[in-house]
Amino acid sequence: MTDTRPGLIPAPTMIESTDGAPTTVTATSRIISFSAESGEAAQSVIRAATGLDVVTAEGGARVGDIVIEIADGPAPGGYTLTADAGIVIAGGDAEGAHNGLQTLFQLLVQADAGEIPALRVEDAPRYGYRGVMLDVSRHFFDADVVLRLIERIAALKFNRLHLHLTDDQGWRIEIPELPELTRSGAATQVGGGAGGAFTIEDYRRIVAHAQRHHVVIVPEIDLPGHTNAALVAYPDLAPAGVVPEPYTGTEVGFSTLDLTAAETDRFVETVIARVAAETPGEYVHVGGDEAFATDAAQFVAFLARATRAVAAQGKTPIAWHEAGKGEDLEPGTVGQYWGRSVEPESQRNARTFGALGGVILSPSDLVYLDMKPTAEHPVGLTWSAPAISLEQAYSWDPADVLDGVPAEAILGVEAPLWTETVITEQDIEGMLFPRLLAVAEKAWSAESSSWPEFEARAAVIAPVLERLGIRQGPAGAGIQQHPVEPAE
């Protein structure tokens, strides 16, 4: 038997050829699954990869059938896949079975004449948190765009979608108790335009679609800075003397809530309670970045209150690494590191979370996918790096970013896409792909291959991206010219 690496991304722990018989999935193949939901997911995967409508069945497997089961051997999120005159996917749990189906999808798309050679895959994730972030505040994207993004990231074994729902330019989630947030607070975006917001029904549809794809939605309500849209909606939340106006620019750090007012705490508690109630996932993100207009002592005290408010709703709070300046955060709070990969002051703040709930890595010079992929790209920013190429997004190790944070405190990796210059869905695709392939492997694979070997796999996987409906033409057809060079 020989160890080979076909065009699978992220790379599995082990894949080897065997002496068994190859497998061809045909119209007479059947799906035998441990659950109706998994069977339906397998039908969708096979239809997308081959165009075949394969039926589900019960009983013993025949030649050419696809069996999906739960087994004791694989780790949580992990699976084995065996091709030998049929396909058997054994997941360590339901998420593991889903991940095995994504590997089957890639194998089927690349199969020569529809034939998968005899092989065995053993696989498990390096990190439990594998995320993508979409900023819907700077430019608003409707629920259908988010649903398609969920499908595409799930195909690469990402299991978290972080939605940046509020910022200076717009408030993007309905809070029925505070209706003005999605009236005046959502009425614009960067460069002007109508803005928009998710209704509660929109958000529920996003959450349900994510659950079907084993993706957890992580909602972010950015506090206490990045709050101008909230202040426009409810001016009584503004500090004395501040008269909020709708904002369509891209500067950061100028807004803050009045942290001395009792109504501010009531507002925060109401918002967090509603968002937590609508979110079945374990996390609520409370922001905490770039609060330059907030008094330092008030900032620390506020983040302690905000993280406790999240925990009171049965959720785990996440905050950007600046929140690590305080020592009274709710135990278990998770920090998200967005500094550059070598930035001592930011790393000091991030180390606080090593002793709390752990750290999610989003180093801005490596995985901030709003940075240009090339210097000539028509969309994107350059404040953290002149460009982040596919090779740069691949050529790093998450274990090497934060000094003084133990390996077990690294929860995973998340690639943010901020949208100051991202206007259309094609812009989203052009910025995320192919670089998201590299991030997927950093988050999943325990061992990195060489850059040339990964580059070869990334080229081979192009038909998979096409089958997912990802347009790889140039982004930027709708680009507007904005003087943007903010730091997130």
Residues with catalytic function: 290
What span, in angstroms and rounded, lies between the C-alpha atoms of 354 and 363? Answer: 16
Q: How far is CA 345 from the centre of its chain?
A: 26
Long-range contacts of 62-66 (CB under 8 A, 24+ apart): 62/30, 62/86, 64/23, 64/24, 64/25, 64/26, 64/28, 64/29, 64/30, 65/29, 65/30, 65/31, 65/32, 66/25, 66/29, 66/30, 66/31, 66/32, 66/42, 66/104
Q: Could you give the CA distance from residue 395 to residue 387 in angstroms, rounded to a whole number?
A: 14
How far apart (Å, rounded) are the C-alpha atoms in residues 277 and 313?
8
Q: Which one-letter amino acid corresponds to residue 342?
A: V
Two structure tokens written together for 68: 């999906």
CA distance 127 to 426: 29
Residue at token pair 């969708």 = 44
Residue 445 tokens, joined: 């694979």
Rg (CA), the chain: 23
Rounded CA gap, 477 and 101, in Å?
A: 35
Please state, in angstroms and rounded to a whole number, the distance separating the CA atoms of residues 303 and 309: 10
Per-residue tokens: 439: 């991030």
Q: In 3D, which of 132, 222, 154 has the Cα closest to residue 428?
A: 132
**Cβ(81)–Cβ(88) below 8 Å:** yes
